[in-house]
Structure 1
Amino acid sequence: MLHATARSIALVFCLSPAVAWGQSETTTISHGVSAFGELKYPPDFPHFDYVNPDAPKGGEMSFRGVGASRTFDSLNPFILAGEPAQGLERIHDTLMARALDEPDAVYGLLAESVEYPADRGWVIFTLRPDAQFSDGHPVTAEDVVFTIETLKSEGSPLYRIQLEDVTGAEALSERRVRIDFRDGAATRDLPMEVAQVAILPAHYYGDVDFARSTLDPPVGSGPYEIADVRPGRSITYCRTPDYWGAEVPVNVGKDNFDCLRYEYFADHTAAFEALKAGEYLLHEEYFSAQWATGYDFPALNRGWVKQVELPDQRPSGAQGFYMNMRRAKLQDVRVRQAIAALFNFEWTNQTLFYGLYERTDSFWENSALEATGIPEGRELEILEEFRGRLPPEIFTEPPVSPPEGSLSQIDRSSVRRAGALLDEAGWKVGEDGLRRNDAGDVLRIEFVSDSPSFERVVLPYVDNLRRVGIDARYVQVDPAQMEERQKTFDYDITGARLVSTLTPSTELRTFFGSQSADQPGTYNLSGISDPVVDALIARAVQADNREGMVAAVHALDRVLRSKHLWVPNWYKGTHWLAYWDVFDRPETKPPYDRGVDFWWLDDEKYEAMERGGLLR
């Protein structure tokens, strides 16, 4: 970082990070910001390293639309009501944009610079003079103020939690906006959090009810506009004419397609058949059986469709069956341990998944943030502060990992262990073979899912639970019901995958924080509400260097695993992609993204397949 006196700020303002002396404090002015200060890219960088700056523009990319309900009924992703369409982030620009080869850095998009003091207690963004919305209105500081205030008061709980430490937003001029943060807040990541919020047009929402779910295409400032909406079937985005930000460095080599189309299907089978028929062009596979056995069809065998596996260096996500501890029957940790012991991953992986997965045991699997071994060093120092409120084995044993099963569906040692835990917890087997407590209540556990393909995984698990006297059931609901039940936490156990970043921040509050435990629409699926967890989240978010952050996340991971709030599933550290061979892509893939937004259409290949009648 370069420094300059106040008199020379005007000369270096847009060229390099600078230190400016205001009336009472020193501030940093920069083209970007990261959690721990260091930036890979200099002020005059022309583009990110992982793009092709000369990528041709044109053509269409098409995907399978995904979502909790496998459909959509809203174009407003900022409120709790409705199921928003996929891809809506493409119509809204943010103040700054992520670099996908750095763990936590953002660089100017709508904003040409950012200013903040050493304690990051506030931040000032200076907007680019040419930034504008799709209807020609300029993006101003008032739009930023409107966005922050509206999302804090009327946005979904996810936005309210994300912005809860924002105490005010003020337009200092038409292009400069100041955002203040709560005294005592963990401010390390707050400038980046605010910088990545989509900025909404105040003038548009003067006539449109922000809190209403709608299918009317909204005004945005991003590279694409909504061109066609077919509710429940498809949504198409096409390039914004004369998009203002095409030459901004964070956008160079990106968004190379004229249009992007998301096709929705009733289920995975229908979607895969559509891919094979050329109805859409790119598909990410999430089912191991399909990946292992389904990719044997004429278009692939003739080389028209490519099947590739791309490395993914992000945390793989905490996929598992989350147990709803809001339910009295699941509040005893021994009951949760018994339930978890009866999921036989080894048999499931070998029998159903063709051995393609690894067992998940950490909430930060596939990353350096995973806790391992006996706690030591800085992690141990952090845990020592809470020793009286933690199980003693946290300090003497490796972090909790799932018990290892066998290649037989019924692992007898797991059955015995689960039975002993339930006996100890007061759930005794009656004459009818069912477990009851002293009040005579049956231990009934219901798995809820909207995925037909998940049935083959859950039903053997349900059988194992029944063997120890649990009245276990699998209930399949339609996607709309599933969406509502997850929003309102109306389940005993549900499957999900929670994904955090390499620099975990406020998302931890929505996953595990007490303030989200009873907030409908958050991702606190287990209902965990624990002051030690809250303190460790704060420690991770407040860390002023990466070493301290990693130690805090290790401690948090270790404590969360000791709570037995989930049944860990499986992971893979790669993307499974299949696509029609009409694209080209940069030589370098960004390590923290699958990189599809930087691909482009190969006109010759596309036209050849179109002439051959291969694409629809």
Structure 2
Amino acid sequence: MTKPLSQAKTRTTETTGWGYGIALVIFGAALVLGTAARAEETIKSHGYSFFGDLKYGPDYTHFDYVNPDAPKGGEISIATLGTFDSMNPYTRKGRGGALSTVMYESLLGEGVNAQAPADMYAEYYCLLCESLEYDEGKNWVIFNMRPEARFSDGTPVTAHDVAFSQQLILDQGLQSYADAVSKRIDNIEVIDDHTIKYTFNPEVSRRSLIEVVGGMSVWSKKWYEETGARLDESRLDISPGSGAYMVDEIDVNRRIVYKRNPEYWGNDLPFNAGRNNFDKIRIEYFGDENSAFEAFKAGEYTFRNEGNSKQWATAYDFPKVKNGYVVKDEIPDGAPPTPAGIIFNLGREVLKDRRVREAVALGFNFEWTNESLQYGLFKQRASFNQDTPLMATGTPEGAELAFLQSLGDLVPPEILSEEVRVPHTSGANRLLDRRNARAAMKLLDDAGWAVGSDGMRRNDAGEPLRLTFLLNSAGSATLSAVVENFMSNLTSMGIEAVLERVDASQYTLRERDRDYDMVYDSYIPFLSTGGGLQQVYGSEAASYSLFNPAGLASPLVDEIIEASQRAVTKEETDTTLIALDRALRHEFFMIPTWYNDVHWTAYYDQYERPETIPPYALGYMDFWWYNADNGAALRAAGALR
């Protein structure tokens, strides 16, 4: 799917059937190659990273972490909660089906629900392209495409499809993506059927431009023109993709099955060696967590990446685990944890007062929650880049201090002089920590929310302090219990705390419209910079970006992001990203909750994996494989349905 980052400024030199004003310029081969002097200034490569350092050379045969001899075959099946009514995830309308982008590839490849390669960060390798060329200043990029690439209907994937797809996402896709990228692309030229050139705006940073356009999903221009389908409509019919998997079965709200395309054009590429190993990927839908878990025990699906601490601690003692039919395994997770937590809607007037947010946060007792509801299995997250070298610590010093000082009055004095914000501590022996409750009461008093005779807090106009928490009723019972106890503490402070449980469809709609005061959601960690940071944390799209559920809009954060994209060395980049972590924590738009540094996995003993899992992906749908003998034995024993 399109990454969080174009109406490109374009010139039209050819009238096209889809009428979108993309420049389709046909050049001769000699003009494409240019003069010898230009060739000396051009970098040509099989992959891309901003600093030019690629782990895998042009003659690589496979990624180090895969088993290049992994057998093909079998099925892996997983569960998801809720409903779906669309197979088009690129629109705000409807609820997209799980993995509904898996059919589509990009010039620079990705994995099946995983980063590829998963052992390196911010490195990208050719998939639909066989090489790319760009000038040293990264003012433009040319992608030389593989002529053998085909959509699943047998039609070739061409530069015309790439250009069409780019403009389609700009005209009909998510507004935050279009707004961000439109300022970065000056021109798109289709040089010939298998060569496309992007020219970038000279006034913007070079960071993330090549990987963003290279990571755009490519759709069939022919299919869209013939069907008249739009990218901004909810629909179940899909355009043909060029990827290893294609849709096999759709049973709305019950099941989606993807099958490996037996005619997949890219089977023999080094990029795909040891990957795309399953014949089928099946997703089963369930209305709630309990029914999903019971179905796993019964053998209705075969793999769980467990996220519920109570179940992990207490529920995996059923007979199939004891007799070895089901493997329970903890696998180290080397990626920074997702910055999840209780997010404040900063668009709500009452939550614009930081004192109110601080008081509400003091109502969350991590220590009690972890010990009483989560079996002590979690750690408390503080940073957006937790446990990485880009996590801000202590007070700023050295290069980070110098950088922050260079931003002048944008930086509040306390950021320079005080230690970086960390979550408050609470006593684990009781839900309501009295010390924190007293501090919260004082903050609410100071903010003008006095306690009335009925114990409820009101402002001078007599309006109650009312806060709603939006919760997906299909979510885990443990999360529901966590939120209920948090809301209980808020009630004890005199806040009218309302927990609104809604079904999955309503939850999706209300979350898109930010119809909540608080919600349990997440942002993204950042080990590198790029235009996507503006979509997630920037001010420009803050009022509507789906990636910014708090609606954060901070001039300081904006400037740090811009500075990170102007940095010319990795050291300078890292300095700005540490400062970004510090600034985001200072803005305080989220109550950080918990994280886990291992993957909790449970699966029927018919799957194998590499001995060492790469740091940035568990990859169970990407580079694990099926053991046919074990699968047959499980079926013979009646362990699977």
- TM-score w.r.t. length of structure 1: 0.94
Structure 2 counterpart of 1:343, one-letter code = F
Q: Is the 8 A contact 2:333 2:597 kept in 1?
A: yes
Q: 1:41 aligns with which of 56, 76, 92?
A: 56
Deviation at 1:266, TM superposition (A): 0.6
Q: Any idea what SS the aligned residue of 1:482 has? A: helix
Q: Any idea what SS the aligned residue of 1:481 has? A: helix
How has the CA–CA distance of structure 1 residues 574 and 542 changed in structure 2, closer, same or farther, with 3 Å as cutoff? farther
Q: For the residues of structure 2 that align with 1:396 and 1:559, how far apart are their CA atoms?
A: 13
Deviation at 1:561, TM superposition (A): 1.0
How has the CA–CA distance of structure 1 residues 388 and 234 changed in structure 2, closer, same or farther, with 3 Å as cutoff? same
How has the CA–CA distance of structure 1 residues 222 and 358 changed in structure 2, closer, same or farther, with 3 Å as cutoff? same
Q: 2:98 aligns with which of 86, 93, 100?
A: 86
Q: For the residues of structure 2 that align with 1:383 and 1:440, how far apart are their CA atoms?
A: 42
The answer to whether residue 583 in structure 2 is matched with residue 571 in structure 1 is no
Deviations, residues 128-155 of structure 1 (Å, cap 9, x unaligned)? 1101111111111111100111101111
Could you say which residue in structure 1 is the equivalent of 2:20? none
Deviating beyond 6 angstroms after TM superposition, the runs of 4 or more aligned structure 1 residues are none
Could you say which residue in structure 2 is the equivalent of 1:181? 200
Could you say which residue in structure 2 is the equivalent of 1:7? none
The answer to whether residue 150 in structure 2 is matched with residue 132 in structure 1 is yes
Could you say which residue in structure 2 is the equivalent of 1:549? 573
Q: Any idea what SS the aligned residue of 2:577 has? A: helix
Q: Any idea what SS the aligned residue of 2:282 has? A: strand
The answer to whether residue 159 in structure 2 is matched with residue 147 in structure 1 is no
Structure 1 counterpart of 2:95, one-letter code = E
Deviation at 1:374, TM superposition (A): 1.1
Q: For the residues of structure 2 that align with 1:377 and 1:288, how far apart are their CA atoms?
A: 40
Could you say which residue in structure 2 is the equivalent of 1:72? 84
Structure 2 counterpart of 1:92, one-letter code = Y
Could you say which residue in structure 2 is the equivalent of 1:510? 535
Q: How does 1:139-218 map to 2 (within 5 A)?
A: 139-161=157-179, 163-164=181-182, 165-208=184-227, 209-210=229-230, 211-218=232-239
Deviation at 1:495, TM superposition (A): 0.4
Deviations, residues 171-192 of structure 1 (Å, cap 9, x unaligned)? 0111110112222222222111
Q: Which moved more, 1:297-306 or 1:461-470?
A: 461-470
Q: Any idea what SS the aligned residue of 2:578 has? A: helix
Deviation at 1:91, TM superposition (A): 0.7
Q: Is the 8 A contact 1:343 1:461 kept in 2?
A: yes
Deviation at 1:386, TM superposition (A): 2.9
Q: Is the 8 A contact 2:207 2:531 kept in 1?
A: no
Could you say which residue in structure 1 is the equivalent of 2:584? 560
Q: 1:480 aligns with which of 505, 511, 531?
A: 505
How has the CA–CA distance of structure 1 residues 312 and 22 changed in structure 2, closer, same or farther, with 3 Å as cutoff? farther
Fraction of identical pairs, as percent: 40
Q: Any idea what SS the aligned residue of 1:65 has? A: strand
The answer to whether residue 266 in structure 2 is matched with residue 266 in structure 1 is no
The answer to whether residue 323 in structure 2 is matched with residue 302 in structure 1 is yes
Could you say which residue in structure 2 is the equivalent of 1:113? 131
Could you say which residue in structure 1 is the equivalent of 2:23? none
How has the CA–CA distance of structure 1 residues 235 and 364 changed in structure 2, closer, same or farther, with 3 Å as cutoff? same
The answer to whether residue 433 in structure 2 is matched with residue 414 in structure 1 is no
The answer to whether residue 418 in structure 2 is matched with residue 397 in structure 1 is yes
Q: For the residues of structure 2 that align with 1:469 and 1:277, how far apart are their CA atoms?
A: 46
Deviations, residues 360-400 of structure 1 (Å, cap 9, x unaligned)? 11112232221111111221122112342333221112111
Aligned residues: 597
Deviation at 1:259, TM superposition (A): 1.0
Q: 1:522 aligns with which of 521, 546, 558?
A: 546
Could you say which residue in structure 2 is the equivalent of 1:539? 563
Deviation at 1:262, TM superposition (A): 0.7
Q: For the residues of structure 1 that align with 2:179 and 2:369, how far apart are their CA atoms?
A: 37
Q: Is the 8 A contact 1:19 1:29 kept in 2?
A: no
Q: For the residues of structure 2 that align with 1:20 and 1:303, how far apart are their CA atoms?
A: 66
Q: For the residues of structure 2 that align with 1:614 and 1:367, how far apart are their CA atoms?
A: 41
Q: How does 1:222-371 map to 2 (within 5 A)?
A: 222-371=243-392
Structure 1 counterpart of 2:490, one-letter code = L
Q: Any idea what SS the aligned residue of 1:163 has? A: helix
Q: Is the 8 A contact 2:470 2:516 kept in 1?
A: yes
Structure 2 counterpart of 1:271, one-letter code = A
Q: Any idea what SS the aligned residue of 1:537 has? A: helix
Deviation at 1:161, TM superposition (A): 4.8
Deviation at 1:158, TM superposition (A): 4.9
Deviation at 1:417, TM superposition (A): 0.8
Deviation at 1:89, TM superposition (A): 2.8
Deviation at 1:452, TM superposition (A): 5.5
Q: For the residues of structure 2 that align with 1:371 and 1:100, how far apart are their CA atoms?
A: 25
Structure 2 counterpart of 1:459, one-letter code = E
Q: For the residues of structure 2 that align with 1:20 and 1:147, how far apart are their CA atoms?
A: 31
Q: Is the 8 A contact 2:308 2:476 kept in 1?
A: no
Deviation at 1:65, TM superposition (A): 2.8
Deviations, residues 398-429 of structure 1 (Å, cap 9, x unaligned)? 11111100012111110111111111112111
Q: Which moved more, 1:359-368 or 1:22-31?
A: 22-31
Q: Any idea what SS the aligned residue of 1:398 has? A: coil
Deviation at 1:461, TM superposition (A): 1.1
Q: For the residues of structure 1 that align with 2:356 and 2:388, how far apart are their CA atoms?
A: 30
Deviation at 1:358, TM superposition (A): 0.6
Could you say which residue in structure 2 is the equivalent of 1:614? 639
Q: Is the 8 A contact 2:220 2:239 kept in 1?
A: no
How has the CA–CA distance of structure 1 residues 263 and 568 changed in structure 2, closer, same or farther, with 3 Å as cutoff? same
Deviations, residues 99-137 of structure 1 (Å, cap 9, x unaligned)? 211111011100001111122122111101101111111
Deviation at 1:88, TM superposition (A): 2.2
Could you say which residue in structure 2 is the equivalent of 1:591? 615
Structure 1 counterpart of 2:375, one-letter code = Y
Could you say which residue in structure 1 is the equivalent of 2:468? 446
Deviations, residues 51-73 of structure 1 (Å, cap 9, x unaligned)? 1111111111111135xxx2211
Structure 1 counterpart of 2:431, one-letter code = Q
Q: Which moved more, 1:102-111 or 1:192-201?
A: 192-201
Q: For the residues of structure 2 that align with 1:541 and 1:30, how far apart are their CA atoms?
A: 22
Q: For the residues of structure 2 that align with 1:301 and 1:167, how far apart are their CA atoms?
A: 61
Could you say which residue in structure 1 is the equivalent of 2:396? 375
Q: Any idea what SS the aligned residue of 2:292 has? A: helix
Q: Is the 8 A contact 1:130 1:138 kept in 2?
A: yes
Deviations, residues 502-528 of structure 1 (Å, cap 9, x unaligned)? 224233222211122111x51211111
Structure 2 counterpart of 1:532, one-letter code = L
Q: Which moved more, 1:391-400 or 1:230-239?
A: 391-400
Q: Is the 8 A contact 1:516 1:522 kept in 2?
A: no
Structure 2 counterpart of 1:207, one-letter code = E
Q: Is the 8 A contact 2:207 2:529 kept in 1?
A: no
- TM-score w.r.t. length of structure 2: 0.90
Q: For the residues of structure 2 that align with 1:465 and 1:104, how far apart are their CA atoms?
A: 42
Q: For the residues of structure 1 that align with 2:458 and 2:399, how far apart are their CA atoms?
A: 45
Deviation at 1:25, TM superposition (A): 8.1
